[in-house]
Amino acid sequence: MPAHSEHNISMNIINTLQNAVAQAVEQLYGGPCDPSKVMVNTTPSDFTGDYSVVVFPFVKISKKSPDATALEIGAILVQNVSEITAFNVVKGFLNVEISAAFWLNFLQETNANPDFGRQPRNGKKVMVEFSSPNTNKPLHMGHIRNILLGWSCSCILEAVGYDVVKTQIINDRGVAICKSMLSWKKFGDGQTPDSTGIKSDHFVGDWYVLFEQKIRAEYEAWQQSDTAKTLLETHLKPGLSEKDFFKDFKNKWFNEYAELGAEVREMLLKWEENDPETLTLWKKMNGWVYAGFDKTYTDLGVTFDHLYYESKTYLLGKDIVEDGLSKGVFYQKEDGSVWIDLTDAGLDHKVVLRADGTSVYITQDLGTARMRFQELGCEQFVYVVADEQNYHFQVLFEILRRLDEPYAEGLHHLSYGLVELPTGRMKTREGTVVDADDLIAEVVKLADDQSKERGEIEGISPTEKTENLRRVGMGALKFFIIKVNPKKRMIFNPEESVDLQGQTGPYIQYSFVRINGLMQRVEKENIDLSLAWQYNDLQPQEKDLLAALHDFPAIVAAAAKEYDPSMVANYCYTLAKSYHRFWHDLSIFNAENLETKAFRLTLSNTVGKVLQRGMGLLGIEMPGRM
RNA sequence: GGCUCCGUAGCUUAAUGGAUAGAGCACCUGACUACGGAUCAGGAGGUUAGAGGUUCGAGUCCUCUCGGAGUCACCA
């Protein structure tokens, strides 16, 4: 154990530097200096030093040149901070070098700390809502992005101290599922997922697609009818083509003219009246969908703590409307509809209750929020929903604020960009969706093919091999999606699919596999690692790794604060990259002496653990071999 | 049209207002009789859409222009 181990070594070195700089500035120049405002970065590799302090902000108080200021601060730092061994100044940047003793001590503590990167429980409860599928069709690429974001965000929030409740609200009612139901009832001829061998959620989705085909055919036929022609003549405006007219007219037609449309509405009505036959059918088809979803969720490795069903929540929110009316937050129009005026918040007027007293989408969300608060006791809520609903959430949160809901300040919309294909948006009706199950199967097969080509993992048991390759495939897919900043729109090219080389999940997994190989040998040869702490010749590649390891807790904290898992993904990549370089440049098992060997093995071990933890936060598992 | 978001190398992308904008893919050239080559090193590729402004310092902040997306339902 290094001599100064009494020192609070677990304190972040960057905080130490910030405090010391602030103190030095106050001592030298008298002015107050907030330590948290002191900029400390890792020093770029072309300069000597480990960390760099930006001194430009201090020249106002020092009334000296940047270089002179840096020299003065540096002199004090090197005197006051035991971890600093030297400093230099380049163009107003103060570069400091950190002692080997600090790094050794840091490694020792980190390697022994199973909670490295985790923070103590903060006693706060946060709900994360994600996935939230419709039950009329299987999950697709867009859901995958949503699910991975929700899952990794949950893991990250958990790591920084929250008690996390993972939920989804399942949209199990409405016109869409009725379309599947009606279609199956009319044309299904008693077929089932079992009788056809089709995965059960896909089975239900197929009937939805069939319905859409039928309705399109009906519409096209109707357009030739006398009624349609008369309508066209009376409503066609100059500049509007016949085609555009019918495109715009489609909704109205569906609601007022279509035969299939009438049947769907009738079914929905029956459902709302609790018609036994309709409910039985509804339960049967939703049951099929859930069985299919379960399989996909299992493949993705996600679970939920609490499920909500729209069929049970869609009537909620009316009490809130009452409440808001009595508080004067809402106002009622003559026709009886209830509104809120949000124009002073840069938003618009928004209806919260229809004239006939039924609720709209946002009413339900208002009610659900309050119910969840009462039921789960969460003070924070994260909604993982695509950015096309940005405005909706602005309105929702603003209304909850005005209602003085106790959790109103803890609401967050984790908005992410839609996943699109090179040809544009995915459309179920046009069959241009990238199906989740297909994609999963494809990427696991890709990992399998690549593995065969390399032939590295012959000789392990088939089950172990399958599991490893599943992890590689899923790692590739998940990392591919999570590494991109959530708010960015994503274009997914199924042709090019997912890479396994370069900035990818498997690249990171591969560094773990290398380390895993080393550790197995350590165990087998019973190597004594305690000599590591006598090592005293730190190489740049080793310092890179140590500094990267040191960053981990701050990265997790920042990712939680920003609700941005891509920060963790990029961190893992950088760490793995440094490790590959370290591996290439330096000998580990064949190191010059036993201290060096023990140190490099311990360093490798710690890198492996942090990589595993970091990837774990993204829902990515590490293979033992690949 | 109003409001919101986005525009970084051929493509995918990184960069709490800080040093010469950092990676990956694709392309070219190299590297183990050594711990696993899904690796490593090097080359080429950028007026960060454009123009002003603030700042010691701007991809990042402000204004305008251009281009793209989303939204503006008593739909969900």
ipTM of the complex as predicted: 0.95
Contacts of A9 (CB under 8 A, 6+ apart): A102, A105, A106, A109
Q: Is residue A451 part of a domain?
A: no
Q: Is residue A78 part of a domain?
A: yes
Query: For the segment A88-137, what is each residue's pLDDT rounded down to a tens digit?
Result: 999 889 999 999 999 999 999 999 999 999 999 999 999 999 999 999 99
Examine the domain organization and report whether A264 and A332 are in the same domain: no
**Taking the alpha carbons of A364, A366, A372, A374 in that order, is the dihedral positive or negative?**
negative
State the pLDDT at residue A10: 47
CA of A38 to C1' of B63 (A): 31
Beta strands in A358-497 (DSSP E): 380-386, 411-416, 419-421, 424-425, 490-491
Q: What is the mean pLDDT of each run of 10 residues along chain A (626 residues)?
A: 37 91 92 89 88 92 91 95 94 92 95 95 96 94 95 97 97 94 95 97 95 92 90 76 80 89 94 95 97 97 96 91 93 93 89 91 94 94 95 95 94 93 79 90 93 86 94 96 93 82 96 96 92 92 95 96 96 97 94 94 97 98 95
Return the biggest CA–CA distance within chain A. Answer: 96
Domain boundary among A49, A70, A98: A98
CA of A34 to C1' of B62 (A): 26
Please give the tally of structural domains in chain A.
3
- A360 CB contact with strand B at below 7 Å: yes
In the three-class reduction of DSSP (H, G, I as helix; E, B as strand; rest coil), residue A97 is classed as strand
- A521 CB contact with strand B at below 7 Å: yes
- A177 CB contact with strand B at below 7 Å: no
For chain A, how big is the Rg over CA atoms in Å?
30
CA of A319 to C1' of B10 (A): 57
- A580 CB contact with strand B at below 7 Å: yes
In the three-class reduction of DSSP (H, G, I as helix; E, B as strand; rest coil), residue A621 is classed as coil
- A450 CB contact with strand B at below 7 Å: yes
CA of A176 to C1' of B20 (A): 57
| A357 alpha carbon, distance to own chain's centre | 38
Domain boundary among A74, A98, A122: A98
Minimum CA–C1' distance nucleotide for A391: B71
- CA nearest A381: which of A152, A125, A99, A135? A125
CA of A49 to C1' of B60 (A): 26
Give me A166's structure tokens.
Answer: 């993972």
Q: Is residue A332 part of a domain?
A: yes
- A575 CB contact with strand B at below 7 Å: no
Cβ-contact A557, A520 below 8 angstroms: no
d(CA A277, CA A392): 36
- A34 CB contact with strand B at below 7 Å: no
Give me A296's structure tokens.
Answer: 């996909």
CA of A1 to C1' of B59 (A): 46
Other C-beta atoms closer than 10 Å to the C-beta of A492 total 20
For strand B, which residues in window 81-140 of chain A come within 7 Å by CB? 90-93, 95
Examine the domain organization and report whether A322 and A258 are in the same domain: no
d(CA A339, CA A321): 9
CA of A486 to C1' of B5 (A): 13
For strand B, which residues in window 216-275 of chain A come within 7 Å by CB? 251
- CA nearest A166: which of A180, A155, A178? A155
Give me A395's structure tokens.
Answer: 């309105």
d(CA A165, CA A137): 26
For strand B, which residues in window 415-444 of chain A come within 7 Å by CB? 418, 425
- A7 CB contact with strand B at below 7 Å: no
User: What does A285-335 look like in DSSP terms, one character per residue?
Assistant: HHHHHHHHHHHHHHHHT---SEEEEHHHHTTTTHHHHHHHHHHTSSEE-TT
State the pLDDT at residue A239: 66
Domain boundary among A98, A115, A133: A98
Cβ-contact A506, A626 below 8 angstroms: yes
In the three-class reduction of DSSP (H, G, I as helix; E, B as strand; rest coil), residue A222 is classed as helix
Give me A153's structure tokens.
Answer: 């965000």
Examine the domain organization and report whether A25 and A91 are in the same domain: yes
- CA nearest A619: which of A141, A132, A147? A147
Contacts of A285 (CB under 8 A, 6+ apart): A135, A177, A180, A181, A184, A204
Cβ-contact A83, A3 below 8 angstroms: no
- A499 CB contact with strand B at below 7 Å: yes
Q: Is residue A91 part of a domain?
A: yes
Query: For the segment A25-80, what is each residue's pLDDT rounded down to a tens digit?
Result: 999 998 888 898 899 999 988 888 999 999 999 998 898 999 999 999 999 999 99
Minimum CA–C1' distance nucleotide for A483: B13
Examine the domain organization and report whether A331 and A244 are in the same domain: no
CA of A493 to C1' of B11 (A): 11
Q: Which CA-bearing residue is nearest the C1' of B74?
A: A354
A56-83 burial string, b = 16+ CB within 10 Å, else e?
eebbebbebebbebbbbbbebbbeebeb
CA of A460 to C1' of B6 (A): 48
Cβ-contact A606, A110 below 8 angstroms: yes
Q: Is residue A273 part of a domain?
A: yes
- A590 CB contact with strand B at below 7 Å: yes
Beta partners for residue A380, in sequence order: A126
Beta partners for residue A386, in sequence order: A416
- A185 CB contact with strand B at below 7 Å: no
Examine the domain organization and report whether A85 and A39 are in the same domain: yes
Q: Which CA-bearing residue is nearest the C1' of B14?
A: A570
Examine the domain organization and report whether A275 and A343 are in the same domain: no
CA of A394 to C1' of B71 (A): 12
Domain that residue A200 falls in: 176-283
Name the strands in the sheet holding A163-170, side by side, starting at the edge strand that comes first in the sequence: A306-309, A163-170, A125-129, A380-386, A411-416
CA of A150 to C1' of B23 (A): 26
Q: Which CA-bearing residue is nearest the C1' of B38?
A: A501
CA of A507 to C1' of B37 (A): 12
- CA nearest A382: which of A132, A123, A119, A553? A132
Cβ-contact A48, A545 below 8 angstroms: no
Q: Is residue A587 part of a domain?
A: no
Q: What is the CATH number of the domain that holds A88?
A: 3.30.1360.70
Examine the domain organization and report whether A243 and A197 are in the same domain: yes
**Bases of chain B within 7 A of a CB of the protein:** 3-6, 12-16, 18-20, 23-26, 34-41, 56-57, 69-76
- A369 CB contact with strand B at below 7 Å: no
CA of A494 to C1' of B25 (A): 15
Question: In Å, what is the CA distance from A499 to each residue of A17, A149, A187?
Answer: 40, 20, 42
State the pLDDT at residue A431: 75
Minimum CA–C1' distance nucleotide for A94: B19
Q: Is residue A86 part of a domain?
A: yes
Q: Is residue A341 part of a domain?
A: yes
Q: Which CA-bearing residue is nearest the C1' of B25?
A: A502
Other C-beta atoms closer than 10 Å to the C-beta of A539 total 13
Examine the domain organization and report whether A278 and A325 are in the same domain: no
- A382 CB contact with strand B at below 7 Å: no
State the pLDDT at residue A410: 94
Minimum CA–C1' distance nucleotide for A359: B74
